[in-house]
Chains A and B, each alone.
Chain A
């Protein structure tokens, strides 16, 4: 194994490791004589080290709490979508909503998918550790189901792509790597949790009972679905009430605003989405920069 090739393989390691051991490792590699197994071991060890560093990042208390908040809010957002999809389907069945060709095979055909969110949220909240594991497994299955093309990308035309695929991923991370939605409620405190759940409850009432689908009229500006509109209200509410005040809140903000960077929809509806994506990008950058750990003194 020549030194140039060995040096290239060392790029599998984090910069800190290369600076500390790089030259020493090159010496040992030269003495060992190299070979394909040495090369493979170098790359695998380097990647494991990088993954380990990534895992360590998520185990800090601030990130664990941020993920716990995600485990609370993300399933709640998706549960709201459940109500909206079910409501639309009922309206279509009763003839109140005019449906085009392909409605039943596409849009409403996904109702079983969306309704599962209510079950997942309930299990995650009441099921303890095993409930969270079950919920995480269910979300993973849903993500795979959606990612493998069962929810077509054209859904982005309706503004729900970002929230339909990426929010589940955020929910999955929250359910799998945190202490669960109850901890999320503790982190947010009553001052945030109660208004948030109230807004969610009002959403159910407004959509399911009164039939009020566009309370803020934002769809007139961007053509978004009411579900998307409610999601914005809740996410921004959580951010304003909690996100800018605490370290875990800022990390949660970065987690939950990221899905709004829906580039697929940006192509479909350039102007209003460009403004939204720009705002979301600024928020992610601002929150992400503020979320960086302070260097040790």
Chain B
């Protein structure tokens, strides 16, 4: 799973969000390391919608503008859970081999 996809799914795992909300949340999740750009975000949202991992939750009118909220689907949650297991296994293996299991020095 690519990092933008992981960050978007993680952002939506907390609840439905609109585009700009996802960008700010993704920056927070990555501790400011990743700043999703608009083009990258909407290419990923389109792909994730096509794959059935997210869907439109609702649309709201804010300042005469339509704002669309997205939510994660069961398939998206499953994919994210699988990615979390994979990352955890990788991290635990790395920590074990470094001899720092139970807390990094």
State the A residues within 8 Å of B (CB).
Answer: 17, 20-21, 23-25, 27-29, 31-32, 37-38, 41-46, 48-49
Contact A45 B20 (CB under 8 A): no
Does residue B6 face the partner (Cβ distance < 8 Å to A)? no
Q: Tell me the dominant secondary structure on chain B's binding face.
A: helix
Provide the bound-state CA to CA distance between A23 and B38, in Å: 12
- Are B38 and A37 interface neighbours, CB within 8 A? no
Interface 0/1 of B16-60, CB less than 8 Å to A: 000110010000000000000111111101100000000000000
Can you pick out 8 interface pairs between chain A and chain B where the beta carbons lie within 8 Å of each other?
A17-B46, A24-B42, A25-B38, A25-B39, A28-B23, A29-B38, A43-B39, A45-B39
Which chain A positions have C-beta within 8 A of B45?
Answer: 21
Asked whether B65 is an interface residue with its Cβ less than 8 Å from the other chain, the reply is yes
Given A29-B38, A41-B39, A20 and B19 contact (CB-CB distance below 8 Å): no
Q: Give the contacting residue for A41; candidates B40, B66, B68; CB below 8 A.
A: B40
Q: Which residues from 67 to 100 on chain B have a C-beta closer than 8 Å to any C-beta of chain A?
A: 67-68
Identity of the chain B residue whose Cβ is nearest the Cβ of A27 in the assembled complex:
B65
From B37, B42, B46, A37 is in contact (CB under 8 Å) with B37
Q: Which of B37, B41, B43, B68 meets A48, CB within 8 Å?
A: B43
Q: How far is the CA of A21 from the CA of B38 in the complex (A)?
A: 11
B39-A42 in contact (CB<8A): yes
Given A23-B65, A37-B37, A44-B39: A32 touches B46 (CB 8 Å cut-off): no
- Please give the distance in Å from A10's CB to the nearest CB on chain B: 9
Q: Is the CB of A25 within 8 A of B37?
A: no
Contact: A24 with B40, CB < 8 Å? no
Contact B40 A20 (CB under 8 A): no
Residues of A within 8 A of B42 (CB): 17, 21, 24-25, 28, 45
